[in-house]
Amino acid sequence: MTPESSMGSEENHFRRIVIIWVVLSIAGDLLFWFLVGPHIPPGRMTSSAKDDQLDFNILMVIGLPVVIGVFEWLAYAGIKWNARNKDTPESVGGPRAAGNKRAEVSWIVITSVVVIFLAGFGTVELYVGSGSGGGEGPNPILQPAGAVQAETAALAGTGTWSPNSNEVLPVQVIGQQWKFTYRYPTFGGFESSDLILPVNTVIAFNVTSLDVIHSFWAYQLEVKADANPQINNVAFTRTEQLGSFEVRCGELCGIWHGAMFNPGHVVSQSAFMTWATSTESKNAANTKILPPFAWTYVPDANGADGGYYPDNVVPYSPVEVYGSKQPS
Amino acid sequence: MSKGGRLATVLGLFLVVVGLVVWAVASLLNPGVPGGVVNFTNSQAAGQPVQLTVQTVGSIGFGAHPSWVSYLVKNPTTGKWVHDTSWELPAHTVIDMTVYQYDSGSPLRNQEWGQVQGTIGDTATLNGTSFSVFNSNTGNGVGHTFAIPTLNVSVPMVGVSGNPCAVAPCHFDSPHNIEKFSFKTPGPGSYNWQCFVPCALGYLYGNGGAMSTQNYMGGELEVVSQS
């Protein structure tokens, strides 16, 4: 076999491989996008969940052709270029590819474009999604419209929210060994073990802890923010579907860490309003005793008769409740 | 000593140190061995309320940790107090709970636990008087809570004045409060219960020791179908 005929065969092989690859990739991507993609976790309950599903699906659509290409090449090589076919031309690539500028440039350009596209896409998604449901710390850079006003008003005790108002709803998440509780500053600052959210509403989760580090992880909402003592970790999302979700602690926090979970519910705006106002009224007697709403609380009461809390310098005082100021 | 001998000695010492560290960490993290399960499923006719009686003590006074705070339960068969926090209860049944609280109290770290939640009527009685919220900044504060987090049940145990009983089981001649409330068990499953007052004196944040060891300030409710 002359080098020319060998080269011609190689090109035929390559063309054949590329055609098969393109057909399989398009078919695989379309099947994935339309059949599997809509069911990829965490679902579409919130804007951040929807965005994450989109991100995953985009990654999959880019990655699937790579996987198909690798296995197709393997299969093709196994069939066409195995040791029994002694008169087959040498395989595409291998020593013949060394120094092939076209192959080298193509490889660098294609991989660079993929990586740079993903970096840009990820950054845009993070920006457009106001942090994509991740904790952004006490001074979030990426905030949805209206968040600053709502948070400022919540702290001042002047926050409002009503159905169809399109206002951001601040919700405080308080981690403690071993349960999350929730305060609603817009509704008098009542605290509850229930996490109920209105649909089609931007939620500002303000996550903190009274003891060790926990992590507020509302999986189906695609919200995850560490709960650190004396730090307000803010995460945003927008509820877009009715339904139930589960909150779990995502940080190993002690013996009952595995039991630190609770259900949550996204309900209609009117149902939320009914629940919030009735709970505000029902819990009013206890809300009066709670500390004034604040982003963080300093639990200088040890809860066990004094003297053993790490801030040992503070003497026991019957007025020391979480959120109270340290006595001077 | 030859080079090989020195190497073996260093390696041996290294393994001993690693072993000691692993043993120390494992001992620290070991939640202890839970006791047996006190069975309440046959303590009454099917469908009838179960009488569950417990007491809280400031220091148990015996065992490996005599100074630790603890819950005890009254065995429905023998009528004796048992140091065991795993209880088997029938599903879909009203549990009438009586708590003899023998410990002192303090303000709560989170007053949310001063509110009675998840009981039938969201109320409890304290020495015969109904209440739904207890201000832990008043009186003797709150000593403990009985809470089943996954069922949203939580009841504050109001602290006593005077010298708390120091050796369990405690008796009526020691200062005590009696609290009663009822809740309904869900379907079969395992549900943890715990105290939400960080009452483990001497431990970081008050949540180590008795709060992090089985059979003291937390346990399991094994809810089973009753034939």
Residue in B with minimal Cα distance to A255? B212
Distance CA B41, CA B51 (A): 11
**A321 contacts in B (CB within 8 Å)?**
107-109, 111, 136-137
Residue A9's pLDDT is 62
- Note whether B94 and B10 are same-domain residues: no
Does the beta carbon of B123 lie under 8 angstroms from any beta carbon of chain A?
Answer: no
| Nearest C-alpha neighbor of A172 from the set A254, A235, A243 | A235
Look up the pTM and report it. Answer: 0.82
Residue A224's pLDDT is 96
- Contact: B149, A259; criterion CB under 8 Å: yes
| Residue B4 banded pLDDT, cuts 50, 70, 90 | confident
Residues 145-184 of B with CB under 8 A from A: 147, 149-150, 152, 154
How far are the Cα atoms of A133, A168, A188, A308, B126 from residue A149, in angstroms, in the given order?
A: 19, 9, 17, 40, 44
Residue A11's pLDDT is 66
Residue A327's pLDDT is 35
Residue in A with minimal Cα distance to B104? A305
**Cβ–Cβ < 8 Å for B176, B94:** no
Residue in A with minimal Cα distance to B199? A304
Residue in B with minimal Cα distance to A320? B107
Provide the ipTM: 0.80
Write the CB contacts of B105 (distance below 8 Å, at least 6 apart in sequence).
A305, B136, B139, B140, B141, B142, B143, B144, B157, B158, B159, B160, B197
**Mean pLDDT, rounded, for B83-96:** 94
Does the beta carbon of B215 lie under 8 angstroms from any beta carbon of chain A?
Answer: no
**B203 contacts in A (CB within 8 Å)?**
308
Residue from B207, B212, B216 whose CB has the most chain A CBs within 10 Å, to mutate: B207
- Note whether B143 and B173 are same-domain residues: yes
In this structure, of A310-319, B54-63, B193-202, the range with the lowest mean pLDDT score is A310-319
| Nearest C-alpha neighbor of B119 from the set B148, B78, B99 | B148
- Note whether B77 and B20 are same-domain residues: no
Residue B107's pLDDT is 81
Residue A300's pLDDT is 53
Distance CA A262, CA B38 (A): 27
Residue A326's pLDDT is 35
Distance CA A94, CA A73 (A): 13
Residue B175's CATH number:
2.60.40.420
- Note whether B204 and B186 are same-domain residues: yes
Residue from A184, A193, A265 whose CB has the most chain B CBs within 10 Å, to mutate: A193
- The A223-227 sheet, strands edge to edge: A195-198, A261-267, A243-249, A214-218, A223-227
What is the Cα Rg of chain B in Å?
21
pLDDT digits (tens, 9 = 90+) for B107-132: 888 889 999 999 999 999 999 999 99
Owning domain of residue B23? 1-30
- Note whether B67 and B114 are same-domain residues: yes
- Note whether B6 and B99 are same-domain residues: no
Q: Which fold has domain A147-287?
A: Immunoglobulin-like (2.60.40)
**B144 contacts in A (CB within 8 Å)?**
none
Q: How many CB atoms lie under 10 A from the CB of residue B202?
A: 13
- Contact: B31, A255; criterion CB under 8 Å: yes
- Note whether B125 and B169 are same-domain residues: yes
Distance CA B111, CA B105 (A): 13
Residue from A281, A321, A322 whose CB has the most chain B CBs within 10 Å, to mutate: A321
Number of domains in chain B: 2
- Count how many pairs of residues, chain A against chain B, have C-beta atoms within 8 Å: 125
Distance CA B105, CA B197 (A): 9
- Note whether B61 and B11 are same-domain residues: no
- Contact: A255, B218; criterion CB under 8 Å: yes
Q: How far is CA A85 from the centre of its chain?
A: 52
**B212 contacts in A (CB within 8 Å)?**
254-255
- Contact: A305, B109; criterion CB under 8 Å: no
Q: How far is CA B164 from the centre of its chain?
A: 18
How far are the Cα atoms of A126, A144, A202, A241, A280 from residue A167, in angstroms, in the given order?
A: 22, 11, 7, 17, 19
- Note whether B199 and B93 are same-domain residues: yes
- Note whether B92 and B1 are same-domain residues: no
- Note whether B40 and B68 are same-domain residues: yes
Hey, where are the domains in chain A? 3-128, 147-287
Does the beta carbon of B105 lie under 8 angstroms from any beta carbon of chain A?
Answer: yes
- Note whether B150 and B166 are same-domain residues: yes
**How far is B146 from chain A, CA to nearest CA, in Å?**
13
Cα diameter, chain A: 98
Q: Over pLDDT 70: what percentage of chain B?
A: 96
Q: Which parts of chain A have pLDDT scores under 70? A: 1-11, 86-96, 299-328
Which residue in B111, B154, B211 is closest to A290 by CB distance?
B111
Stronger pLDDT, B125 or B27, i.e. the higher one: B125
